[in-house]
Amino acid sequence: MKLTKLVIATGNLKKLKEFERLLAPLGIVVLPQSAFDVPEAPEPHCTFLENALAKARNAARHTGLPALADDSGICVDALNGAPGVNSAYYAGAQKSDADNNAKLIADLQGVAHRRAHYTAVLALVMHENDPEPIIAEGRWWGEMIDTPRGAGGFGYDPYFLDIALNQTAAEMPIDIKGAHSHRGRALAALLLRLQE
């Protein structure tokens, strides 16, 4: 089945922009779930995979269209993988990037080992009860720094340093971030699956 139109199951406009840019060359029109007043899906699960699937099924149910969801977050080695699936709410239900970053950097005070990775799991369902969702994942390794750098991106980006590029995710133009990021890598893997 040729995929031409997709609902993206996110309320995050920055994520939406990243998906739009990555899917446009394939002729896939991307529609935000906000255009259909899709209510946000609960994310009660302890794995990115289960949360991504719940979001994709929720968007497909409310729109009748194929839906793509990502569940993503940052996992810090020294914090046993936290914030992990709780990345959006690390400092509380208000979902504030500034509060989340302040908490994470406070938690890492005096910690020398700064290794961390972003992870993204994508789930694509053709319809609400699709028994064969297409799943793909991507990881992006780096280190947490104490002083923010850059004004792009979102979330933890100003504190996440790609060691090889010596840039934080917030310092990179969106296309460079897309080429290296967890979401970009997961999407590349998803597209390979789609071509099969």
Site for ligand IMP, residues 5 to 34, rule: CB under 6 A: 12
* Mask for 173-192, x = binds ligand IMP (CB under 6 A): --------x-x---------
Of residues 70, 71, 157, 162, which has the active-site annotation?
71
* Closest residue by Cα to residue 36 from 5, 73, 82, 75: 5
Binding status of residue 171 toward ligand IMP by CB under 6 A: no
* Residue 53 host element (H or E): helix 48-63
Residue nearer to ligand IMP on the CB measure, 66 or 71: 71
Binding status of residue 157 toward ligand IMP by CB under 6 A: yes
Handedness of CA 74, 80, 82, 84 (dihedral sign): positive
Cis peptide before 83 (omega within 30 of 0): yes
Residue 130: CB minimum distance to ligand IMP, A: 20
Residue 160: CB minimum distance to ligand IMP, A: 7
Residue nearer to ligand IMP on the CB measure, 99 or 130: 99
Residue nearer to ligand IMP on the CB measure, 12 or 191: 12
Q: Three-state SS for 66?
A: coil
Q: Using the 8-state DSSP alphabet, how is residue 168 labeled? A: E
Residue 74: CB minimum distance to ligand IMP, A: 6
Residue nearer to ligand IMP on the CB measure, 4 or 47: 47
Q: What share of the chain is helix, strand, coil (3-state, %, to 5)?
A: 40, 25, 35
For the question of residue 99 being annotated catalytic, the response is: no
**Measured distance CA(196)–CA(187) in Å, rounded:** 14
Choose the binding region for ligand IMP from 72-80, 105-113, 125-133, 184-192 (rule: CB under 6 A).
72-80
Handedness of CA 168, 25, 187, 12 (dihedral sign): positive
What residues are labeled active site? 71
